[in-house]
Amino acid sequence: MSNYPALHMIVDGRAIDSSTAGEQAVFNPATEERLGTLAWATTEHLDDALASSARAYQTWKLVSAQDRGALLHKVADLLIERIPQIAPVLCLEQGKSIREAAAELQYAADIFSYCAEEGKRTYGRIIPSRTEGHRQMVFKRPIGPSLGLSPWNFPGLVPARKIAMALAAGCTCILKASEETPATAMMIVQVCHDAGIPAGVVNLVFGDPPTVSSHLMDSDVIRKISFTGSIPVGKHLAKLASNRLQRCTLELGGHAPVIVLDDADPIYAARVAASAKFLRNAGQVCVAPTRFFVQEGVYKAFSNALAEIALSIKVGNGLDADTEMGPLANERRVDAMQRLVEDARAKGAKVLAGGHRVGQKGYFWAPTVLSDVDSSAVMMNEEPFGPLAPIVPFSRIEEVLVEANRLPQGLAAYAFTDSMTRASEIAEGIEAGVVTFNHVTAALPETPFGGVKESGDGREGGPEGLDAFMVTRYVSEARR
């Protein structure tokens, strides 16, 4: 399409648009139309990226936090200017609505702005000495060149987070973005360069994911890994990282429970939950609400309200102004929805809304609400990553906490209640890295984000996210 850019990698500030390592087609999930062709990195390209990142690190780490922050502010400002150009591209290759694409890019700009300021606050400290004539100091220093591995579901937000955190800390970054949504990441890296980030500080490569990650991680250049993706891949990367003791931040899959207590307003809870379940990237979000546990007193009212909202949602091409929910990202997700719904039905679930593919062209799936879903259903045990909302009744908080904590994932959890006492009980008892009450905003640039158990290790966002790109150095001086 005319407004979809020619694709290329960016290594040491140079565009690379051809390769002997292979190539891959990129498709529009709304139309199944081929958008472009993406070249894969050769080992020579990857070695060039490593050398460039290592070379640039030697000068970038010496740039003051104030000056790094000024450049990151320029990135944020330029990114905002280019939202009208980048948002339609994001929409074309990923599928989400144009409004959501623009909001994602605004969020990405906010991350750069936050990191520009937080990078100035990487304070050390003075530790009082036990003896006269001693001075004990703690310094924060960048850990070194980093590798960012980002997925297809947020092609603007996740690359921005990995780049901005690294650069604010004084690290360089090699970004291996998703081959299914490459243009958004490419345009963001170009924004970095156009804003004045020196060549080599941010490199962008694509290719066969296992080949690229193993080659880059096998180098002693890379000291920090930041990965967002599936649990199996995260575990594999952690094993690879152990060979060189590279620090890892792993933001992995979730299966977020939603607990609706009988003192909450079920209509409000349904409306808020629907926005995160359906209207945010068609449920293709690691923190999407996925298991709805509703107390018996409001079970029917909540179920009916959620189904009514689901039936009213306008599904269509993300570029259409009236679209509320776009397509799924690929055919794999459509097949998964079909399999999960059929399995739940076979185990006694009732479909209150949706449950079927929409149209004959594109990867559209109707917002789906199911009631009385058995705990043995696959969708109650496997992250659906799509617009499926299974609802289960419960009677006591103690029992719902057991069910909510039953799975090995623990990324996000949501609850609706007007009781501070019951909220405290849930907050203390739930096993999740992020817990919200009466709303579903799981992450902001200034807040720590990450999971427990198999949902990952480490935190992105907030000062904790920046600290992951730094090492602590203790210096002690004695006066002679």
pLDDT at 476 over 70: yes
CA 397 remoteness from chain centre: 30
User: Could you give the CA distance from residue 106 to residue 80 in angstroms, rounded to a whole number?
Assistant: 6
Query: Cβ(352)–Cβ(311) under 8 Å?
Result: no
Q: In this predicted structure, what is the pLDDT of residue 480? A: 84
pLDDT in tens, 248-264: 999 999 999 999 999 99
Residue 284 token pair: 């293709």
Query: Cβ(230)–Cβ(152) under 8 Å?
Result: no
Answer with the residue of higher pLDDT: 1 or 307: 307
User: Could you give the CA distance from residue 58 to residue 93 in angstroms, rounded to a whole number?
Assistant: 36
Query: Cβ(82)–Cβ(191) under 8 Å?
Result: yes
440-449's contacts with Cβ under 8 Å and 24+ in sequence apart are 440/272, 440/273, 440/275, 440/276, 440/289, 440/414, 442/287, 442/412, 443/287, 445/107, 445/110, 445/111, 445/113, 445/114, 445/115, 446/114, 446/118, 449/251
Per-residue confidence band for 448, with pLDDT thresholds at 50, 70 and 90: very high
CA 202 remoteness from chain centre: 19
pLDDT at 219 over 60: yes
Percent of the chain residues past pLDDT 90, beyond the cut: 98
HSE-CB at 469 with a 13 A cutoff on CA atoms is 32
Q: In this predicted structure, what is the pLDDT of residue 2? A: 61
pLDDT in tens, 353-401: 999 999 989 999 999 999 999 999 999 999 999 999 999 999 999 999 9
Averaged pLDDT of the chain? 97
- Cα end-to-end distance, the chain, whole Å: 72
Q: What domains are there in the chain, each with its CATH number?
A: 9-252+455-475 (3.40.605.10), 256-445 (3.40.309.10)
Q: In this predicted structure, what is the pLDDT of residue 323? A: 97
pLDDT in tens, 14-69: 999 988 989 999 999 999 999 999 999 999 999 999 999 999 999 999 999 999 99
* pLDDT, average across residues 336-349: 98
Active-site residue list: 251, 286
* pLDDT, average across residues 188-192: 98
Q: Is the dihedral of CA 88, 90, 93, 99 positive or negative?
A: negative
